[in-house]
Structure 1
Amino acid sequence: MKRTATAIALVLALSGAAAPAFAADPAPKTFAEATEGLTRQEGLLRVFVDQDGGKVLVQLPAPGANGVMARVIHHTALRTGVGSAVTGLDRAQIGATNILSFRRIGKKIVAEFENPKYEAPHGSPEEQAAARDAFVGSTVWAGDVVATGPDGSVLVDLSAFLTRDAMGIVETLKAAGQGSLKPMSDLTMVDPAATKSFPDNLEMEARLTFGVDSPGRELSQIAPEPRLATFTVHHSFIKLPDDQYQPREFDPRTGAFATNVTDYSAPLNEAMVHRLASRFRLVKTDPTAARSTVVKPIVFYVDRAAPEPIRSALVEGAGWWAQAFDAAGYIDAFKVEVMPEGADPLDARYNVVNWVNRATRSWSYGQSVVDPRTGEIVKGSVLLGSLRIRQDMLIFEGLVGADHTGDGSVNDPQRIALARIRQLAAHEVGHAIGLQHNFAASTQGRASVMDYPVPKIGVTADDQLDFSDAYAVGMGAWDDFAIDWLYSDADKAALAKKAEEGRARLRFANDADARVGGDAQPWGSLWDNGEDPVAELDHILKIRRIALDRFGLRNLPAGAAVNDLRRRLVPIYLYHRYQVDAVSKLVGGIDYSYPVSGGGQEAATAVPADVQRAALAALTRTLNPAELDLPEPLLALLAAQQSGDGDPQNDIEVFKGLNGRAFDPGVAADVAADVTLDALFAPQRVNRIADAGRRDPAALGLGETVDVITAAAFAPAEGRLAEPARRVQAQTVLTLAGLLKGDDLSSTSAAVIDDRLQALAVKLKASRAADPVQRAHDRWLGALIGDRDRLDQLLEDKHHAPATPPGSPIGAEEGWHDNDA
């Protein structure tokens, strides 16, 4: 039951009690009173900056018929990051993009994110309202009206909107194991000095500080006070693009990114879900000309934080895209320049290649801010990790020697690393202008910068490595095709024809068909080379052996600790790891593309059985003890120790041995064996191999696959090669047994593997090997297979599964376009 103030006062009066005083609402301020002494900025919206009070006020126009006062594209970005690969919170990292609307409800102004994924644009007003109201929106903030103007406009303080955790920092750091975070209101504030107003965008910032309970390793190592983490979060408010942009329907054959929109007003004979390709607006000055200049070119700016000669390499590599746009008929449509001095990389007006520092190496990213209603890209942002080129230098010095650095030869690691970073700049800008990865391009003569390129290394007659053709220069055939389809002004029929012609002549494999170890697509691999994966693996193994046989002090820069050889050894010892993945995908592989109804239909086909058997034989060569052994002089160097505080990266990227501080060559062999066995015996692949025999009696079957590998693993080995052989044998047994422990195998796969293991156990338990160590090892493995409890415990504890040191990124990013990576 409600009681009004008047009623209460009457009751009190009748009872003789004194009536309480009810404060009247304060008289609303006028605009002049509310903005007195504040700095006024004219732009997309009128802004008043209160430097002394630490506030930013915005004048919103009178509400329209729908109650909305302003609608903008809003996104956030980090001015300051953690500096850690683990957290993913990097300088210039972009947050989510939303359509933000402000509306007045009583004395409040609310900010809400609209839900443009569901609409009925061609329906009646009632249909449009039904689509809009059926799906949840998000009110993210509400604030009081500070003043109201005679024209109905209002003044509102946006400070609380700016200081909320819009980047999801709390959840991100918690998920990364960096502790539980709580906002510290007394240490969180708007930075009024960062407010900038322009006709098409507003830029604002806030400093957010969080208290951290039980900080994780990354925060503890990086933050000066790990219990307090402070971030500067940037907010961009961007004018909604006009309706002259022509959305482009996504086509799965073309490698574009897509934004999904569901149209509930679509006719029954048309699809409701439209996938719109993401791209910049590009308009010819002469729409009737096959070749024309453009009204507004796409311009990317390279961060001035990138030092020379890296900065010039980034400008050159990113600028390769001009070739593709020119081939598509757009003259001077794409440009790359150094960022103007004093310009802000987070300003929405600039497409930027940012240079990002981290404590340890990590991915680079190509991102874009996309209008979710149409797929139009309104800002491109690239994050290049500064340590990536250092890692490339380390690898190249490991291959040819640090004594070549700076000598200007074709084998100069600095020259090669700069060639690689040109590729990286082109690759990440490719994401920012709308392109996915194409991990099949490397099988067609380096057809795209959107693949992950491994250096193409020649071997001379006298076994010298030759880097003269390490990396391609410029655009490939796929890049030209993808830009032509994505940006040309062709009609729907012409676009479909372009897409089909591209599919018919060019291979394409995106992330979903390339990144998982058990993927079936035989052409979709990372860091591989060549049309023939098997031949390339043999070539890579030759390069690896040449480098390992010569590995030593010459691979260290002058003055470096000899112990640093342990880190430099890892990418050389495991130099074949990515080509192993490529060869494994031939086994149980299925070749397919991304056709559409009405296009040229291409049935998926299994990789021929003889090619699969050749691939299996090649994989056994990686398990040869001679490939896993290290020269004795090198082992003597690897015994060297380091004193003082170490580089955190060194702690991450070395083989973790069981010999104390001494180097453990056995663990290196364990890891190399795991590289092959884990790739080959990925559960999805195992199931496909098991099913193949049912469909084709001539196919490579699972029983044959296991027999070939176990025969290679248990081939006799003597002398110094006996120990790496035993490591391979143990890893083979544990890998196969581990498959049975999981629930990813089909019943047929499990039956075949269990049968082969039991037969192997009988043979091993009856071992009569002349070498007593080998005999004991055989019998131990045989008994272990028969003792499921002990075997399961061993697999659970992972005592015999040393961690493989990180490999990617060895020269490109593991993540991708951030509208989705």
Structure 2
Amino acid sequence: MKNQLIYTLPILFFTFFLNAQSFDKTKDYQKFSGYFNFYYDDSSDKIFLEVNELEKEFLYVYSLSSGIGSNDIGLDRGQLGNEQVVYFKKAGQKLLLVQPNQRFRALTDNNLEKKSVEQAFAKSVLHGFKIEEESRGSYLIDITDFLMRDAHGVSQRLKRTKQGSYSLDASKSALAFERTKAFPKNVEFDVTLTFKGSPTGDWIRSVTPNPNLVTVAQHHSLIALPDDNYKKREFDPRCGSYPFSYYDYATPVQEPILKRFVTRHRLEKKNPNASMSEAVEPIVYYLDNGTPEPVRSALLEGGRWWNQAFESIGYKDAFQLKILPDDADPLDVRYNVIQWVHRSTRGWSYGSSITDPRTGEIIKGHVSLGSLRIRQDFLIAQALMSKPFAENDDNYGPMLEMALARIRQLSAHEIGHTLGFAHNFAASTNNRASVMDYPHPQFELDGNTINFSNAYDTGIGEWDKVTVAYSYSDFTGGTNEKEALNAILEKAQNDGLRYISDQDARPRGGAHALAHLWDNGKNASQELDKVLQIRKVAIDNFSMDNIRSGEPNSVLEDVFAPLYFFHRYQTEATSKLIGGLDYNYATKGDGQRTVYSISASSQENALKTILKTLDAEVIAIPKEKLELFPPRAIGYGRSRESFKGRTGVSFDALSAAETATDMTLGLLLHPERASRLIQQKSLDEDQLGLTEVLEETLRRTIKRSHKDSYLAATQHTINFKVLHHIMNLAAHTGVHPQVNAIANQTLKETKTHLLGNGKNSISVEMVRRIDAFLDKPEKFKTIPAPKIPDGSPIGMGCMH
């Protein structure tokens, strides 16, 4: 044993000596030891990277550690860039940073077949580095220029959003060592970048102290790839997960060449045979330690709902949510993070992730929650409460609780994206079965009072348990995984759960009758009736007591805006019944119905209900309420969340009606919907057709009169928009020609009606517009209505 030790020690020492690289150039530099060793030369302000292994793949990710603060521009603090598998390759006196093509592969033992696919498709060389020094197979390269470039595309984004032409100003940029660190499996670099240019847009002017100089911080991460023990799981269009895909050219001819798998974190039971087991390594998320109370507690509570879903598949404490340590960097790949992001205006919240491009394994989940979003729910509650500040200015408890209820749901929703799950916009028809829907606050009427207690659901949904079961179930040995996964989806189907995602749920032109953003209830038109009733009660109750003492009426006007347009999202949902379809992401043999039209009676009821939003008696702001809205006070100008109008400083009640009308008609008379009505009528003569829709719309608008002069003026405003949208159908080049024919005939019949109903200034002007259109339809241009204020409870979309 002694002799063996004697021989072993020199070998170990010699091996250590060989591996301990020494570069002459770096002897006076500050050294950072980690996954890659790197050195800082403060005399030249340069960073040198030590590369010990060539052609070994690792992950490169760029991101923004500090942003611009504008939702419209979209460059947020913590925003991730694209992850890229890369490797270093020697070429003469350079090291090339190469990104291989992960989209096209050949998964085979035949190396020549692999090489043929690799050579068939382009790869990308991201950068070339001069070799500064070589020592025993290791290379020293200067990566300063690589770090100091505009990797995130800030200047391109500013140009694309028409904010100006900007370029990187190296003299005002520098390395940032507060967030430059080295760890065993990742190294992190941070740089301060300044862009100089001439601002042309209001967005950049509104968020920068000097819009000619825009300074942000950019982050670069070099990360060790996970080991090969991750097991991919096949994607099914019914499962609710995001698909990860690539082409495998080694696939037998009889099999699909495009491979699809779910995107998910790695999760395994410590004891696969136990009905309840801890995870080998739980999924742990960390909340931004800069999040204030009571938001912090609400986000923690809502995010932890996901553990309910993991418990339902036999995991104990598999999902955990903690506070981010004070010394942790939110962009460090070792932390799944929920960031509290500030912007100058309300905007998106989104869940994104860093994934392994080879497998789809989620390495880091990263949620960005807009800090101003909570204020919109507070505003909605403030508008719907009856005299909340009649007795004192501190009666904000019910409003705050509703806003926090939404924040709990939002936390769960965005975390869900980073767990690999897509939106489910049909969940609202299943008794709010998923946090991955966009929920509109749900209210009940108690006489003349609006009940807020059930505004938002609590806890994880039944559909969410299905998605977790499909993506994360740990099956015991001998289980046929494909059969087990299919059984999960069949049970969900038998339980009546529905899943429809983004591409089928968007409002304008959308066709799926059950999938929509911000709707409630199984029957959209019945729910719209209910929403209109709630809106009416709230408007009748609205008064000066909806704001605090000392606040100007300009604030009251902005509180009124989300109330006036309270029906907008349920109107969108109802419109999708007209010419609507019901369909599933069906697979052969699963027993689901594929696609069928909504019944004629349901479509007719939807049309009847939606036309209420074009009725002056419903849409006109009551005359006595107009006294609440004088011209804006100094210092309280209109914002993007205010009413827009055509009357200068005064409040424009007619433009409010025009805006609401244009919103409804843009949905009801959408060109794609009109074409679907043509098709469905051709397949079933008893179905609703475009002719019936236009006839009923005219009967309820242009052919209707009001004795009250204010209601009459409001109805005229509505009627001109109706005429305009019919002209749009008549002139549109992207519809079936039958749509053009029916719309043109409707215009001629409308002219006849107007001429036969007695001459007045309104009918004369409408006839003039019809004649001008029929004479030269090619000159028709859409006339925009005053823009509807921003109003979505959390925005029109989640980015991920």
Deviations 1:301-347 (A, max 9, x none): 11111100100110000110000011011111000111112211111
**Structure 2 residues without counterparts, runs of 5 or longer:** 1-20, 476-480
1:740 to 2:710 alignment: no
Q: Secondary structure at the match of 2:781?
A: helix
1:279 to 2:264 alignment: yes
Residues in 2 aligned to 1:668 and 1:164: alpha-carbon distance in whole angstroms: 47
Alignment-mate amino acid for residue 663 of structure 2 = V
In the alignment, is the contact (CA less than 8 A) between 2:388 and 2:396 conserved in 1?
no
| Cα distance, 1:640 vs structure 2 | 3.7
The structure-2 alpha-carbon separation of the partners of 1:565 and 1:794, relative to structure 1 and needing over 3 Å to count, comes to farther
Residues in 2 aligned to 1:451 and 1:428: alpha-carbon distance in whole angstroms: 11
Residues in 1 aligned to 2:178 and 2:207: alpha-carbon distance in whole angstroms: 27
Residues in 2 aligned to 1:62 and 1:623: alpha-carbon distance in whole angstroms: 69
Residues in 2 aligned to 1:457 and 1:723: alpha-carbon distance in whole angstroms: 32
Alignment-mate amino acid for residue 159 of structure 2 = K
* Candidates 745, 766, 769, aligned match of 1:755: 745
Q: Give the aligned partner of residue 570 of structure 1.
A: 561
Residues in 1 aligned to 2:397 and 2:687: alpha-carbon distance in whole angstroms: 44
Matches within 5 A, 1:534-553: 534-553=525-544
* Candidates 738, 746, 756, aligned match of 1:766: 756
Residues in 2 aligned to 1:218 and 1:130: alpha-carbon distance in whole angstroms: 49
1:636 to 2:627 alignment: yes
Residues in 2 aligned to 1:118 and 1:205: alpha-carbon distance in whole angstroms: 33
RMSD over equivalenced CA pairs, Å:
2.0
Matches within 5 A, 1:353-752: 353-400=338-385, 401-403=387-389, 412-460=398-446, 462-490=447-475, 491-504=481-494, 505-644=496-635, 646=637, 650-714=638-702, 715-719=704-708, 720-752=710-742
* Candidates 222, 225, 247, aligned match of 1:240: 225
- 552-561 or 787-796, which deviates more: 787-796
Residues in 2 aligned to 1:557 and 1:433: alpha-carbon distance in whole angstroms: 42
Q: Give the aligned partner of residue 121 of structure 2.
A: 135
Q: Give the aligned partner of residue 761 of structure 2.
A: 776
Residues in 2 aligned to 1:497 and 1:483: alpha-carbon distance in whole angstroms: 14
1:345 to 2:330 alignment: yes
Matches within 5 A, 1:280-359: 280-359=265-344
| Cα distance, 1:224 vs structure 2 | 1.3
Residues in 2 aligned to 1:56 and 1:560: alpha-carbon distance in whole angstroms: 55
In the alignment, is the contact (CA less than 8 A) between 1:100 and 1:112 conserved in 2?
yes
Q: Secondary structure at the match of 2:327?
A: coil
In the alignment, is the contact (CA less than 8 A) between 1:408 and 1:415 conserved in 2?
no
Q: Give the aligned partner of residue 8 of structure 1.
A: none
In the alignment, is the contact (CA less than 8 A) between 1:368 and 1:817 conserved in 2?
no
In the alignment, is the contact (CA less than 8 A) between 2:584 and 2:592 conserved in 1?
no
1:804 to 2:788 alignment: yes
Alignment-mate amino acid for residue 752 of structure 2 = V
Q: Give the aligned partner of residue 11 of structure 1.
A: none
Q: Secondary structure at the match of 2:57?
A: strand
Q: Give the aligned partner of residue 16 of structure 1.
A: none
Deviations 1:271-313 (A, max 9, x none): 1101121100001101222321101111111111110010011
* Candidates 199, 202, 209, aligned match of 2:187: 202
The structure-2 alpha-carbon separation of the partners of 1:453 and 1:62, relative to structure 1 and needing over 3 Å to count, comes to closer
The structure-2 alpha-carbon separation of the partners of 1:503 and 1:161, relative to structure 1 and needing over 3 Å to count, comes to farther
| Cα distance, 1:767 vs structure 2 | 2.6
Q: Give the aligned partner of residue 14 of structure 2.
A: none
Q: Secondary structure at the match of 1:267?
A: coil
| Cα distance, 1:673 vs structure 2 | 1.0
- 492-501 or 266-275, which deviates more: 492-501
| Cα distance, 1:617 vs structure 2 | 0.4
Residues in 2 aligned to 1:144 and 1:617: alpha-carbon distance in whole angstroms: 72
Deviations 1:753-782 (A, max 9, x none): 11111100111133327xxxxx21022112
The structure-2 alpha-carbon separation of the partners of 1:278 and 1:404, relative to structure 1 and needing over 3 Å to count, comes to farther
In the alignment, is the contact (CA less than 8 A) between 2:367 and 2:414 conserved in 1?
yes
| Cα distance, 1:500 vs structure 2 | 3.3
Residues in 1 aligned to 2:775 and 2:389: alpha-carbon distance in whole angstroms: 51
Deviations 1:449-470 (A, max 9, x none): 000111110100x210001111
Residues in 1 aligned to 2:623 and 2:102: alpha-carbon distance in whole angstroms: 65
Q: Give the aligned partner of residue 4 of structure 1.
A: none
Q: Give the aligned partner of residue 815 of structure 1.
A: 797
Q: Secondary structure at the match of 2:706?
A: coil
Deviations 1:713-745 (A, max 9, x none): 121212121111111111110011112232121
In the alignment, is the contact (CA less than 8 A) between 1:75 and 1:95 conserved in 2?
yes
| Cα distance, 1:406 vs structure 2 | 10
Alignment-mate amino acid for residue 724 of structure 1 = T
Q: Secondary structure at the match of 2:98?
A: strand
Deviations 1:396-444 (A, max 9, x none): 1011155299999997100110111000000000001101110110111
| Cα distance, 1:47 vs structure 2 | 2.0
The total of aligned residue pairs comes to 771
1:162 to 2:147 alignment: yes
Residues in 2 aligned to 1:576 and 1:417: alpha-carbon distance in whole angstroms: 19
Q: Give the aligned partner of residue 188 of structure 1.
A: 173
Matches within 5 A, 1:106-117: 106-117=92-103
The structure-2 alpha-carbon separation of the partners of 1:621 and 1:516, relative to structure 1 and needing over 3 Å to count, comes to closer
Alignment-mate amino acid for residue 353 of structure 1 = I
In the alignment, is the contact (CA less than 8 A) between 1:183 and 1:210 conserved in 2?
yes
- 432-441 or 402-411, which deviates more: 402-411
In the alignment, is the contact (CA less than 8 A) between 2:727 and 2:773 conserved in 1?
no
Residues in 2 aligned to 1:817 and 1:784: alpha-carbon distance in whole angstroms: 43
In the alignment, is the contact (CA less than 8 A) between 2:423 and 2:436 conserved in 1?
yes
| Cα distance, 1:602 vs structure 2 | 1.9
**Structure 1 residues without counterparts, runs of 5 or longer:** 1-29, 770-774
| Cα distance, 1:189 vs structure 2 | 2.9
Q: Secondary structure at the match of 2:431?
A: coil
Residues in 2 aligned to 1:421 and 1:405: alpha-carbon distance in whole angstroms: 28
In the alignment, is the contact (CA less than 8 A) between 1:254 and 1:502 conserved in 2?
no
The structure-2 alpha-carbon separation of the partners of 1:173 and 1:474, relative to structure 1 and needing over 3 Å to count, comes to same
| Cα distance, 1:793 vs structure 2 | 9.2
